[in-house]
Amino acid sequence: SSEVLEAIENVIQGVFQSLAQKKAPVLTVANRTDWRNIEFKDSVGLQMIPRCTTKQIRSDCPQSATRFALMLKILSMIYKMVQSNTYATKRDIYYSDTLLFGSQSVVDQIINDISCMLKIPRRSLHVLSTTKGFVAGNLSYTEEDGTKVNCTCSATAVTVPSNVQGIKNLTSHAKFILIVEKDATFQRLLDDDFFSKVSPCIMITGRGIPDLNTRLLVRKLWDSFQIPIFTLMDADPHGVEIMCVYKYGSVSMSFEAHHLTVPSIKWLGLLPSDLERLNICKDALIPFTKQDENKLASIQKRPYIACQPLWKRELEIMAASKLKAEIQALTSLSSDYLSRVYLPNKLQFGGWL
């Protein structure tokens, strides 16, 4: 915490020095969303290059003066929280003054900019994300406040903790981890008691694009147990993108890649090649939209696809067919095909990429 306080004090000292020299204070932040500032590394995923391009948030420029003021406001809130060892979610910060901040996304972007500017992970700034992910299966741990959580005996899923950094005493006999894209599929597998029938495993869902806590938990489980991690996604460009976020990270959070990515993640399904192999009826498939085509074309150009020839082939199959399928398409074969046939066969015979 002393490191965080010192980093904030240095920023404020810089503001004072500018004022003392009768200059307009400026905050310098990295261009987080610029692909030119990102490099791809097999062992880490997408990470920010050391000498990246920056942008200035000036206090004397009408376009950026408000943002400058909001950054100082949030810096002061973080400083107080670190001093008093209290935490707040991004929503708490927004609702502390909705008129001032204007929208939740403004708060989210500023917090990420501050984290990147100070080179300090967001959790160390005492800012927590609102969690939307669920975890179930062969896992127990102790939360920071001492609460013992057992995901094994629960018939319903447990919400991913909002302070993943603080959990300890993780124990599991799981043989693998399964990341499920969607809540509906996750609940179906839970109802089918999948995680105890096949072999002990841990199931996680970020319910679509994963929030920070779900990504942190996947990384923490990987660090703790070093067991295989598989993804179960829709066979569409959106599903592939979500899988890439877990595996290689996202451009906007590339400055925190070391804490968030798990490059060893495998693509278990639903593979575009599975659709033909399983002879899934055409009625269960959905034609591509223009948006799907654009999304797929952009994914195919990304640096990490070049080093994944098998993935590349699957994306080419998808592009050629111009058809996509949700995981639910497997129910056209039988209602419990996913948990009874598809997943057990894949896991037993190594049907992943």
Active site residues: 95
Q: Long-range CB contacts (< 8 A, 24+ apart) of 258-261?
A: 258/44, 258/47, 259/121, 259/216, 259/219, 260/212, 260/215, 260/216, 260/219, 261/44, 261/45, 261/46, 261/215, 261/219
Q: Long-range CB contacts (< 8 A, 24+ apart) of 259-262?
A: 259/121, 259/216, 259/219, 260/212, 260/215, 260/216, 260/219, 261/44, 261/45, 261/46, 261/215, 261/219, 262/218, 262/219, 262/222, 262/229
Residues found in the chain? 353
Euclidean distance between CA atoms 44 and 40, whole angstroms: 8
Rounded to a whole number of angstroms, the CA Rg of the chain reads 22
What the block records as the tokens of 20 is 């003392």
- Nearest alpha carbon to residue 195 among 119, 137, 127, 280: 137
Euclidean distance between CA atoms 16 and 104, whole angstroms: 29
- Name residue 251's amino acid: V
